[in-house]
Amino acid sequence: MSERVVLCYGDSNTFGWVRAAEGRLERAKRWPGVLAAELGPGWHVIEEGLSGRTTVFDDPLEPDRNGRTYLAPCLASHEPVDLVVLFLGTNDLKARFGVNASDIAAGAGVLVTIALESLAGPGMTPPRVLVLGLPRLGRLSELAEMFSGAEEKAARLPEHLRAVVAALGADFLDLGESLAYNDADGIHLDASGHRTVGEAVAGAVRALFP
């Protein structure tokens, strides 16, 4: 059997930014690295994380962060891709975007559709898509103004995401059921959180590819 490919497409939590450490976790400790170690030989895990990346929204303060614009070329450059793991939506909660939970879920749905229509899977088939529901927000502290109103939107997001993902025929893993972002800034994973995500995604991947 040929090597299976997993593309992890996300934001700073896929990049591995850790506020408490003021920097980036080493590769093996970032959740895609944990995933790769958990899956072992026969799997190639591609880490594609960009700090500030949104689902489909242009950021007036941070250009080139719209996840829609890069997903298709990213898939094309790595095909064949067996599985796309989408871990986005945290930045969409920023007050400056003025969007609600339904809008954020719809944005994720746009990315799911791009992936499925790309035919970037083996033999020009659609890759499978796994959407990760966000961990629960931690204490926002100095980011409270930037993320004003985020708590209410985040609380409603899982139900909307689940519905959108199911309607499109993709798979959903709600990280918020068992994990919260670190209280150092409320929106990032710590090293322990990265391990939890990597292990959880590995379990989902094994179920999708028995």
- What is the rounded distance in angstroms from the CA atom of residue 134 to the CA atom of residue 92? 11
User: pLDDT tier at 196 (50, 70, 90 boundaries)?
Assistant: very high
Number of H helices, E strands in the chain: 6, 7
Mean pLDDT within 181-189: 95
What pLDDT, on the 0 to 100 scale, is given for residue 152?
97
Task: Convert the pLDDT of each residue in 1-53 to its tens digit.
Answer: 589 999 999 999 999 999 766 789 999 999 999 999 999 999 999 999 999 99
What pLDDT, on the 0 to 100 scale, is given for residue 23?
86
What pLDDT, on the 0 to 100 scale, is given for residue 141?
87
Strands 23-24 and 17-18: antiparallel
Task: Convert the pLDDT of each residue in 43-80 to its tens digit.
Answer: 999 999 999 999 999 999 999 999 999 999 999 999 99
Task: Convert the pLDDT of each residue in 130-182 to its tens digit.
Answer: 999 999 999 998 999 999 999 999 999 999 999 999 999 999 999 999 999 99
Task: Convert the pLDDT of each residue in 81-127 to its tens digit.
Answer: 999 999 999 999 999 999 999 999 999 999 999 999 999 999 999 99
Domain spans of the chain, in order of start? 4-208
DSSP 60: S
What pLDDT, on the 0 to 100 scale, is given for residue 68?
98
Annotate 6-21 with three-state secondary structure: EEEEECHHHHCEECCC
Cβ distance 167 to 160 under 8 Å? no
- What is the rounded distance in angstroms from the CA atom of residue 184 to the CA atom of residue 47? 24
At the fourth CATH level, the homologous superfamily of domain 4-208 is SGNH hydrolase (3.40.50.1110)
Measured from the Cβ of residue 58, the count of other Cβ atoms closer than 10 Å reads 13
What pLDDT, on the 0 to 100 scale, is given for residue 1?
57
